[in-house]
Amino acid sequence: MKNIMKYMLVALTTLSFSVAQAGELSVTGSAKASYAITSSDSGSAALQQGKGLGVANEFTLSASGELDNGMSWSYATDIDGATVQDDGKLTLTTDIGTFGIFISEGGLETINKSSQSVISRPSDTSYGENMLDNFNISGMNTLQYHTPADLLPFGISAKVAYAPASGSAASINSYKAGGAAVSEGFTTATKVGTTASPFSQTAQMGRSATHYQVTASPIDGLTVGADYLDYSNVVGATFQSPESGAYYLTYAFGPATIGYAKGYLATAIGASADVLESIESTKYSISANVSDDLSISYEHEESNPDFTTAGTANYTLESTGIQAAYTMGGMTLAIAMNDHSNAKYQNAVDIKDTVFSVAMAF
């Protein structure tokens, strides 16, 4: 792994010593407006909140070009609705693969790559049900290597991302940015009721993290893939080390596409106590193109926590969504109707949310 990281750094430095041809600059993005209705009639979680109305936008500045040695480069940065740079990447593509530096993006998790929802997953639409899938390296700053396209049979491609520090700070807008302070410890994943997050353990722990991904297209219409994320130097995780991974598949036939994914997460545990030990996720979905402009979808997501003590009650969080999207040129009109059972992993907390949206792409 150390040799791979050294080679990645050497390859990327060629950007500083090679003569680049004039590159191209482009701006892409979208502006979105939504009207959300959220409610619950369940006895333990009656909810009649006000209607939500909002507008958001995000755009990406990207540039690309070629070096005099035949290599190509690309740069991209995202600007959110508050006109703040929140992601960025610089890559160099060679005959032996692509090397890159990714700042707060470039996650390799596959648990949600199977989603066929025409707007967004039910757990990522409006209401904050707090579904926890797998650990995510995309919030870290990483060095990455991707194998060349068409190098391996059956459309097999591989990617590896290495985060020198699991926490990232002051490294978005400056090439002189220092690394974040890393304690190498972790926060025990205990259940904390109905606060912002149902489980307190985050992806920022230990000294560093490495994420692997493999995908393939063995036959027409079929895509399969898997990923695995591992941490190093997690101080105090004597009972269980943190890790997560998933596998997925999608299959397109005619106007329809189906998707299925299975994910597993093991938390860091430092002492024998009644804490969250693992989470198992299951997701399946289907979408269909009714016409050239109209698409519909159905998706079901489950997240099942398991505690170290058998006597602790575990409640599976389920989110289900039926969605439709109608596109007219650069404008998309959409509706999402979602149901959440045991929201925030609390028993009988059942929520419904309906979201009407319009998006303008540019």
- What average pLDDT is seen over the chain? 84
Instruction: Say what the alpha-carbon torsion angle 127, 131, 133, 138 is, to the nearest 10 degrees.
Output: 50
- Residue 15 pLDDT exceeds 50: no
- Residue 83 pLDDT exceeds 70: no
In what helix (H) or strand (E) does residue 16 lie, and over which residues does it extend?
helix 2-17
Written as six digits, the tokens of 331 are: 């404008």
pLDDT band at residue 194, thresholds of 50, 70 and 90? very low
Q: Are 29 and 57 in contact (CB under 8 A)?
A: yes
Interatomic CA distance for residues 40 and 48, integer angstroms: 7
Query: Residue 146: its pLDDT value, please?
Result: 97
Cα angle, residue 149 at apex, residues 284 and 76 outer, rounded to 5°: 80
Query: Residue 174: its pLDDT value, please?
Result: 66
Q: What is the mean pLDDT of residues 152-166?
A: 91
Q: What is the mean pLDDT of residues 125-154?
A: 88
- Residue 95 pLDDT exceeds 50: yes
pLDDT band at residue 8, thresholds of 50, 70 and 90? low
Domains and CATH numbers, the chain: 2-171+182-361 (2.40.160.10)
pLDDT band at residue 325, thresholds of 50, 70 and 90? very high
- Residue 182 pLDDT exceeds 70: no
The burial class, CB within 10 Å (0-12 / 13-18 / 19+), for 181 is: exposed
Q: What are the DSSP calls for 175-218, one per residue? A: TTPPPPP--S------B-TTSS-SB---S--SSEEEEEEEEE--
Higher confidence at residue 224 or residue 89? Answer: 224
Per-residue pLDDT tens over the stretch 290-320: 999 999 999 999 999 998 887 777 889 999 9
Query: Residue 37: its pLDDT value, please?
Result: 86
Q: What is the mean pLDDT of residues 234-241?
A: 91
Rg over CA atoms, the chain: 22
- Percent of the chain beyond pLDDT 70? 82
